[in-house]
Structure 1
Amino acid sequence: MAVLFILVLMVLLNADQMVMSPNIGAIEQEFSISDAQIGLVASSFTVIGALVSLVWGYLADKYNRKNLLIYSILVGEIPCLMSAFSKSYGELFFWRALTGIGVGASFPIVYSMIGDMFDEVRRGRVVALISSSISIGSVFGMIVGGFLGPKYGWRIPFIVVSVPNIALAILSIFVLKEPRRGAFEKGIGELVQSGYVYPKIPKPSDYVKLIKVKTNLLLFLQGIAGTIPWGAIPYFLVEFFRRERSLSVETATLVFLVFGLGNIAGIILGGMWGSSLYARSKSLLPIFCGTTTALGVLFTIVTLNYLGSLVTLMLLGFIASFTASLTGPNVKFMLLNVNEPQDRGRIFSIFNLTDSLGTGFGKFAGGMMSVALGSLGAALKVSAYFWLICAVLLFVLVFYFSKDVEKLQKSMMELAKTSYTSKTSG
């Protein structure tokens, strides 16, 4: 029940990210702005939210995460509602920047909670579901924006996606419970489930320790590179089909919906397959991620170049999106399984920072490249090649991931022995 409720909250919250995308043309026309300026609005949304999430990640490792999640949703949804009443480019920029705070803050909180609700193998499947909320939310936002915007104006979609989540955030007070920190770690988990309070608390000096974990560092770096295409391609895709393939906004949104379904299917199945591979051999997981990421580049370029029938375009887009999405949930799965319970809020806040810097820059870079190259399609193709950097870094991870998992498990077993000795002697 708790996972389902969190999933709904995250779907609605992440709908904020893409609700503006189908109406880029209308907003640019009303405020007399360019692709580069509208890309800057999206960049502020992600980058400011990511910077603020560093603070929320630290708070998530120290305080009640249920309450923090409720606060973060309210912080994000109220400015989203106010975006509908923007009277200038400056006002829109301001409200979208504040909306990003809520999205960025929720990210480390939710994944920290999931890490303490399930064991090391089941986490992969649950992470896949929670990760899919980002894509489901994006698709939902695109549907609302794409079908309501042209008929009722670009402002109405902001109201539609924000008001329900404000109500659900209040309802969360009665539905959600705070999970016990460390309850599913090998060794210490048994003590925690018997009533023992997890003994470790976060310290500012721990940030250096987190970066020293090779798996963390490699996943951070690939996150920066990989989310450049994830920033530019989804954000400008509807406008690309409208502008350079002569599709209506509604038809382009429908095409995007099919792409989005491929993304959701890839995330869910990627997490399921990743968990199975992890159970067989931990080294298989980064191999799987590196291979599928490289294939995602190939299928994306083929899709962007295709000029044939709408049905075939949708099929190619589904395959490209599906392939490129298989890695996403497994990145988060790997982060959970190499970091201690008291570090997960901060590690996901740092990951969100690197992830959002790439996404935010990707949106801005997509707009800039469109202007420089004179073609939105060319800009999206250049963005796609950044996934190749991800593939290389994921293959390098084969040499470090298993070792980092074993180090964590050994640390938790030693903590259990020390804690049990202190408990019995006391």
Structure 2
Amino acid sequence: MSLRKNQKLTNIVSIFIILFISVFNFMDRALLPPNYNLIMLEFGKTEPEVGLISTLFMITAAICTVIFGFLNDRVNRKWLLFGGSIYYSISSLFVGYAQSYEQLLLFKILTGVGIGVVVPVAYSIITDMFKATARSRVFSVFGVALTLGGALGTIISGNYGEAGNWRTPFILIGIINIVAAVSVIFLNNPKRGAKEEILESKLQEGLEYSYKIKMNDLKYIYTRKSNFFLIINFIDNIPGGIIAAWAITWLVEERGVPKDVASTLFLIASAFSLVGSIVGGIIGDRWFKKDKRARVGISMFAMIFEVPFLIAFVLIQFNFTGTPTMGEVLGNSMFLISIIMVGLFFFIDSFIGPNWYSTIMDVNLPEHRGTMLSVANLVDAVGAGIGPWIGGLLYLWLGSYQLAFILASVINIAGFILWIPMFRNIRKDIQDVENILKKRVEEPEIAK
């Protein structure tokens, strides 16, 4: 087998391993919300208290992502990923055996610590496997896999929840996650900057990109304009966090849809995001070749044009009484239109993900990407993380999930405004990175 074919096979195996870990990681994240009502009943807690579990879990994961993102830029990525994966898998098992609200909260926080390793390491490795002009597509495929993981987790959890059992999914997924973690042993760790066009020829000669992040680099990273606005634009995740956490509960409690039917059909609608992520990634890569602002522009488009579909989803009227069957639910045309509306919302919203991740990589040096991505994910996770909690508070305040969803959708407008400065500065920041790499090609550090 030729060296090139062997390298290609090695990359395929490595990508599969990363996807394997990440998919089950996202399955684990999705197990709790479908059974909020069972947990409230078992432990005697309110919506905000149960929503707080998801909030603290995601915020903990995001904070740990910052710590491990910095380490990712300094140490061996493969073994960092292995250790974190083993840790969160075992913590997930403990969640299934929680005997009190306090134990459940503690074990979910501990799981978040382990999960904080996966995101910066996975994206860092994937970035070094593909050229800049293909990254949006790669991240879109990665995003599709993660969405499928989340969808499967929700379906599995919802089906077990119908039988009054919210614990078993955590135990099953925890065991599978241990197997996924062990597979990291076979992962190939590519050279940093291996697919940067400016560096590629040098690295193919057997040289190494030996630059590593330093503490005094942090000021440079966070004062760059594009990075600043990539970080603070976290509020665009709040509406999605609210919908993901409370939509199924709303369909069940206010519209009379059986939980298993609501979980299944809502997730079928969520599948629109799989297509949207691929479409958004393809468009982002294609237009990026012509205009370096393209990925940011596509994200801005999505922020505005998804809002009407979300509002339509919650305003369309339908109600069920008794225990309707799947056939009876599907026979309600207004319900089907509502599900299509939320499907289109997910389709457009998923344009943002692959282009956001690619933009982070575009405007940062190879040794800064893990750190920058981890901080951006931290703040982004705050938006998604406080969504369930804010949704619970809005419900208690307004007395209606429907009104809470409508009020939350307005937040997208503020998110759009925060993309504008990024659109103005993105070209300059990308050019700055390219200029630095051109200078480094001839410096002795590149050859160490």
TM-score (norm 1): 0.95
Partner of 2:154: 142
Letter in 1 for 2:190: P
Q: Which residue of 2 aligns with 1:272?
A: 282
Runs of 4 or more off by more than 3 Å in structure 1? none
Give the distance between the partners of 1:281 and 1:304, measured in 2 at CA: 37
CA contact (8 A) 2:226 2:422 kept: yes
Residue in structure 2 matched with residue 186 of structure 1 by the alignment: 197
CA–CA separation in structure 1 for the residues paired with 2:67 and 2:310: 36
**Partner amino acid for 1:361?**
I
RMSD: 1.6
Structure 1 residues not aligned, in runs of 5+? none
Corresponding residue SS for 1:390: helix
Q: In 2, distance between residues paired with 1:267 and 1:75?
A: 30
**Given residue 372 of structure 2, which amino acid in structure 1 is its aligned partner?**
I
Q: 1:48 aligns with which of 30, 53, 60?
A: 60
Q: Does 2:346 match 1:346?
A: no
In 1, Cα distance between the equivalents of 2:350 and 2:198?
A: 34
State the match for 2:328 in structure 1.
none
User: Which residue of structure 2 aligns with residue 392 of structure 1?
Assistant: 417
In structure 2, runs of 5+ residues without a counterpart are: 1-11, 319-333
* SS class of match (2:420): helix
C-alpha distance after superposition, 1:81-104 (max 9, x if no partner) = 111111100000011111112222
Instruction: Give, in angstroms, the shift of residue 160 of structure 1.
Output: 2.3
**Aligned residue identity for 2:304:** A
Supply the AA of the counterpart residue of 1:22.
Answer: P
Name the SS for the 2:98 alignment partner. coil
Correspondent of 2:301 among 278, 282, 291: 291
AA matched with 1:31: F
Letter of the 2:255 counterpart: R
Q: Which amino acid aligns with 1:347?
A: M
How far residue 152 of structure 1 moved from its aligned partner, in angstroms, is 5.7
CA distance in 1, matches of 2:295, 2:377: 21
Q: What code does the residue aligned with 2:236 have?
A: G
Q: Once the 2 structures are TM-superposed, how far is the Cα of residue 249 of structure 1 from its aligned partner?
A: 0.5
The 2-side partners of 1:219 and 1:304 are apart by 30
Partner of 1:241: 251
The residue aligned with 1:30 is 42
Distance (whole Å) between structure 2 residues aligned to residue 375 and residue 26 of structure 1: 20
Structure 2 residue 216 is the aligned partner of structure 1 residue 205: yes
Whether the aligned pair in 2 keeps the contact of 1:238 and 1:249 (CA below 8 Å) is yes
Give CA deviations for 1:387-422 in whole Å, capped at 9, x if unaligned.
2122222233221111111111111111102239x8
Larger mean CA deviation between 269-278 and 306-315 belongs to: 306-315
**Number of residue equivalences:** 421
One of 60, 64, 67 as aligned partner of 2:76: 64
Partner residue in 2 for 1:255: 265
Tell me, in whole angstroms, the C-alpha distance in 1 between the residues paired with 2:144 and 2:380.
Answer: 16
Cα distance in 2, alignment partners of residues 104 and 234 from structure 1: 21
In structure 2, what is the Cα distance between the partners aligned to 1:56 and 1:42? 21
- Residue 91 in 1 paired to residue 103 in 2? yes
* Cα distance in 2 for residues equivalent to 1:193 and 1:342: 18
The 1:72–1:133 alpha-carbon spacing in structure 2 relative to 1, beyond 3 Å, is farther
Q: Is the 8 A contact 2:226 2:363 kept in 1?
A: yes
Distance 2:298 2:379 in 1: 22
Q: Is residue 2:123 matched to residue 1:111? A: yes
Q: Equivalents in 1 of 2:173, 2:283: separation in Å?
A: 32
In the other structure, the counterpart of 1:121 is 133
Is 1:242–1:248's contact at 8 Å kept on the other side of the alignment?
yes
> Cα distance, 1:138 vs. partner?
1.4
Specify the code of the residue in structure 1 equivalent to 2:215. Answer: P
**Quick one: percent identity of the two aligned structures?**
27
- Once the two structures are TM-superposed, the CA of residue 284 in structure 1 deviates from its matched residue by 2.6
What's the offset of the Cα at 1:377?
Answer: 2.0
Cα deviation 1:60-108 (Å, max 9, x = unaligned): 0011111111222122121111111111000000111111122222111
SS of equivalent residue, structure 2 residue 348 = helix
| Distance of 1:134 and 1:297 partners within structure 2 | 23
